[in-house]
Amino acid sequence: MGAQQTPNSDPNQKGLSFLVGSDSVHVMVLKPHDLAQRNSIIDTVLKLSSLRNSCQTVYLAAPRLLGATIDASIFRAHGIGLLFFDERRIDEAVAPQPLQATRPQTAQPAQDPGLVSELATLKSMYFEMERNLTQLRDDLKNLHGAPRNGGGFSPQLSQPPQAVPPEPVFAPNINQDEALHSYFNNQADPPPPRGGSPGVLPSYFTNNPWLEVLSKRGRSENGRLAG
């Protein structure tokens, strides 16, 4: 799922190339000693612009020290991504715009608004049906005089608890190219915040009698109140 580093098509070309899915990404890295050389920054930016015919996405990675002097809006206007790094971390200051001019034009199927709304209706019907089914199952259980607590809850963890992937960190003894590679790998993975599927409930909802108990809160207040 991660980005794959690829060799540069032109051996004289500086920087790092990656393949993210079907898109090629190129990163030009400004090293601290480049800052001392006259015109090196403008030279690097011009070289990046020249890559429009061969890459979908281009980045300039610059030492954080340059943050105060670079006008990010210029990069935004030209669709060039801007990364700042220091010894601790890499931050994306400007997200790149894919270079549409060079991308092969594919016919986009026109979205039928009727179809979209039908899909939404079907989705909500499915969701309602699932709720009804849970309720029916509970009712059936009560009818059969099943034990009060059911005991039917069997959580099925799809995977063991995993540690949150740490942010990319530049340690002083880590090769900067390796760190950039790892950064792009992490970027290409599906982001954890929205990794779940909206509308699909987690496994611990399955046969959970609390769904019914809690959904009746406020309707009949004859339950045992907090003491």
Binding site for other proteins (CB under 8 A): 88, 124, 127-128, 131, 148-150, 152-153, 155, 157-159, 161-164, 166-167, 192-205, 207-211, 213-215, 217-219, 223-227
User: Which structure tokens are listed for 13?
Assistant: 């070309």
Which amino acid is it at 51?
L
Nearer to other proteins, 31 or 88 (CB): 88
- We find the least distance from the C-beta atom of residue 165 to other proteins, in angstroms, to be 10
Nearer to other proteins, 35 or 201 (CB): 201
Q: Are 182 and 16 in contact (CB under 8 A)?
A: no
- We find the least distance from the C-beta atom of residue 49 to other proteins, in angstroms, to be 30
Long-range contacts of 188-197 (CB under 8 A, 24+ apart): 188/1, 188/2, 188/3, 188/20, 188/21, 189/1, 189/2, 189/165, 190/1, 192/164, 192/165
Nearer to other proteins, 174 or 213 (CB): 213
Nearer to other proteins, 77 or 213 (CB): 213
DSSP secondary structure string for all residues of 9-34 = SSTT--SEEEEETTEEEEEEE--GGG
- We find the least distance from the C-beta atom of residue 218 to other proteins, in angstroms, to be 4
Nearer to other proteins, 112 or 167 (CB): 167
- We find the least distance from the C-beta atom of residue 174 to other proteins, in angstroms, to be 15
Closest Cα partner for 152 from 215, 201, 210?
210
Q: Are 185 and 3 in contact (CB under 8 A)?
A: yes
- We find the least distance from the C-beta atom of residue 156 to other proteins, in angstroms, to be 9
